[in-house]
Structures are given as structure tokens and as C-alpha cells.
Amino acid sequence: MRIRVAAPAELPLLQDIERAAGEAFRPIGMGEIADDDPLPLDVLESYRGAGRAWVAVDAEDRPVAYLLTDTVDGAAHIEQISVHPDAARRGVGRALIEHVAQAAREQGLTALTLTTFTEVPWNAPYYARIGFRRLDAGDPALTEGLRAISAAEAAHGLAAWPRVCMRRELTATTVSPPRTAPAVPPSAPSR
């Protein structure tokens, strides 16, 4: 598997990956999440044009997963990560996260952050297993930027299910090799 910046022609494929990954929410009673539209092409292009849309590609150089990042309060914020179900349970999501962690270190960023569902096995419990910690309301690492993201997500309807902000510090010793078969598939978006 190779990770690289997304190409312009691949943006519709990223939408397809997000739709396919979102289907994992339907059987757990979160059909609204499964039905949520993927990010529009112009938004994906803004991430791609800024070098913040990463793809994991198969042997034919076709994307099977993607990750979008923003910089929020000195951290690389994972805005979206989606793995196509056909590529799930192979460490693809973790490899994308580790790739972005290394890029963030090189940029002098201090952490990775994300927001996610607390009770979805491939969301908060998965991220906790790979080094992210929950940020409670009084945690000084819960920055104004993360609070604003949480508020925007709530306005979009995501607060209908319990959500949490999470953070993983980036230090020279944080790097850990991707597992080849994670216990829970990183096959759905972090949303």
C-alpha cells in the first residue's frame, strides 16, 4: 500500500469511498449518518489543492481510503477519514493516520486531533487503542478551535449521538508501526 496526495480526477472516488464506508453506520441504528452526503467536490478540491487530502492506494494506484486534515490550534486535525469496506481490517486507516502524524511532525505541529462518536466501536474506542485520548470539558487541550468544530458538527446534527474530541500528542517517540489486522475495522468515517 502506498500513501500520497490525492489527484484531481480522484475526488469523485473519495465521495464513493465515503458513501461505502458510511454504510457501516446503518446496521447500528445510525442511518442518518449512512445517508449523509459526502463532502462536495469543491470542498475536496480545496483540501487537495492545499496538499491536505491524502489517499491510500491499491496495487493499481486506485484510492481505497482517504484522510483530510486541517491545522487547528497548532495540531493536525483529522477532518475526515474513510476506508472502503473492501480494504477494511488491513491497517489502512492506521497507516493513513501514521503518515499524517509524520507529516505533522515535520511541520512542527504538536498533536493530532479529531472529533468522533463515543459509542461506535470503530470510532472513539479504536482511536483510543492507537494513542488518542478523550478531551473532557475542562481539559486545557480542548482548544477554542476544537470547541468551534464540535459546535459546527452539533449544528449539522451530529450531536444526536454522543461525540468526543480526541488528541494524540506528537513526539519523536510516538511513532508506532501500523498493525496488519486491527481488531476493529477503521472502515467508517470519523465524522
Measured in degrees and rounded to the nearest 5, phi and psi for residue 53 equal -125, 105
Measured torsion, CA atoms of residues 78, 48, 107, 186, in degrees rounded to the nearest 10 = 30
- pLDDT confidence of residue 89: 87
Cβ atoms < 10 Å from Cβ of 41: 14
pLDDT bucket at 173, cuts 50 / 70 / 90: very low
pLDDT bucket at 189, cuts 50 / 70 / 90: very low
pLDDT tens track for 123-140: 999 999 999 999 999 999
Average pLDDT over residues 135-158: 92
pLDDT tens track for 66-112: 999 999 999 999 999 999 999 988 999 999 999 999 999 999 999 99
d(CA 15, CA 37): 8
Measured N-to-C along each axis, helices 11-22 and 41-49 cross at an angle, to the nearest 10 degrees, of: 120
Which amino acid would we find at residue 43? Answer: V
Bridge partners of residue 63, in order along the sequence: 57
The model's pTM is: 0.86
d(CA 23, CA 187): 10
Nine-digit cell at 100?
A: 499524517
Buried b vs exposed e over 11-33: b needs ≥16 C-beta within 10 Å? bebbbebbbbbbebbeebebeeb
| Beta carbons within 8 Å of 180's beta carbon, 6+ residues apart | 90, 91
